[in-house]
A and B are shown apart, each in its own frame.
Chain A
Amino acid sequence: MVGYEESSGLSRRGLLRAGALLAAVMAVPGRVWAAVKRPDGAFKAEGIDAALASIASDAAVSDQIDLETPDIAENGGTVPVVVNSKLPGTTRVAILVELNPNPLSAIFVVPEGSDAYIETRVKVAQTCNIYALVEAGGQWYQASKETKVTLGGCGG
């Protein structure tokens, strides 16, 4: 089984390979779980620099990525995130939280025929930037937005 290596995280070559694998898997229903391996190393990366590097350290900022997060969250345990990539040929979307111990939260693989639209909720340990990394046409792009996390109620 070809998969990502723990140590190297998600290399571009690995992702392309995974993309090809996924395409192959589409034709074989029921074998989804075994098809594309989760990049465990990238999820274990500590600090935003290492986490970004584990996916794509040179992602260009793009205004074609709509990243919606609340300006201020009532509760850092549940912060809604919406990513809508308008980049043609989007194949993958990653969500990272800058100051979480392990910044990488989620990677979504977007098959042909699906919109590059993702909505989920993540934990945000403290006020920081939330990143969306988008792979389109074999290139990675990024957008980021700050969400403030406030201390709730009585603060204890």
Chain B
Amino acid sequence: MAGRIRVRAQLSDGVTEVKALMRHPMETGLRKDADGNAIPANFITEVTATHNDRVVMQAFWGASVSQNPFLACRFTGGAVGDDVTVNWVDNLGETGTGTTKIR
């Protein structure tokens, strides 16, 4: 059930604030499980936020971003009802996506 992203986008005084929570373990590869086996690294490496089709934020991440990561950013030019989409891709090539409308 990863791959999910919760996105909300709120317009206020001409600035749209995007907040996204992503379902992802963000494993560093440095931890061991209860049986002492190494837990393989698995973390989001890239995130983009788009407004309609325009990129409003791009991020490169390492494994030290927290589990189930949170990202907030702000842009101008949005209008109520416009689409905001957040996508991620991780080090294993898997992806997640979430969309909302500006309110």
- Verify whether A and B have any Cβ pair under 8 Å: yes
CB neighbours of A79 from chain B (8 A):
66
> Could you tell me how many residues of chain B have their Cβ less than 8 Å away from some Cβ of chain A?
33
CA distance A79 to B67 in the complex (A): 11
Proximity bits, A39-65, B CB within 8 Å = 1, else 0:
100010000000000000000000000
A43 and B60 contact, Cβ closer than 8 Å, known pairs A77-B67, A106-B65, A121-B65 = yes
| Number of A-B residue pairs with CB-CB distance less than 8 Å in the complex they form | 107
A111 and B55 contact, Cβ closer than 8 Å, known pairs A100-B64, A102-B64, A105-B62 = yes
> Majority SS of interface residues in chain B?
strand
Q: Closest CB of chain A to B11's CB: distance in Å?
A: 13
Which of A101, A115, A119 is within 8 Å of B76, CB to CB? A115
> Majority SS of interface residues in chain A?
mixed
Stretch at the interface among B2-10, B32-40, B45-53: B45-53
CB neighbours of B54 from chain A (8 A):
26, 29, 111, 113
CA distance A114 to B58 in the complex (A): 11
> Could you tell me how many residues of chain A have their Cβ less than 8 Å away from some Cβ of chain B?
37
Stretch at the interface among A30-38, A137-145, A146-154: A30-38
Interface pair B73/A113, CB less than 8 Å apart? no
CB neighbours of B15 from chain A (8 A):
115
Interface pair A32/B58, CB less than 8 Å apart? yes
A36 and B58 contact, Cβ closer than 8 Å, known pairs A30-B53, A119-B73, A120-B71 = yes
CA distance A26 to B58 in the complex (A): 11
Which of B50, B53, B71 is within 8 Å of A119, CB to CB? B71
Interface pair B59/A123, CB less than 8 Å apart? no
Interface pair B66/A122, CB less than 8 Å apart? yes
Query: Among the interface residues B56, B58, B61, B89, which one has the most CB atoms of the partner chain A within 10 A?
Result: B58
A39 and B60 contact, Cβ closer than 8 Å, known pairs A25-B55, A32-B55, A123-B66 = yes
A22 and B58 contact, Cβ closer than 8 Å, known pairs A105-B65, A122-B66 = yes
CA distance A123 to B31 in the complex (A): 13
Q: Restricting to A51-86, which residues have a CB under 8 Å from any CB of B? A: 77-80
Interface pair B63/A102, CB less than 8 Å apart? yes
Interface pair B75/A114, CB less than 8 Å apart? yes
Q: Restricting to A86-145, which residues have a CB under 8 Å from any CB of B? A: 97, 100-102, 104-111, 113-115, 117-123
The 4 closest A-B pairs by CB, nearest first: A119-B72, A29-B53, A115-B74, A121-B66
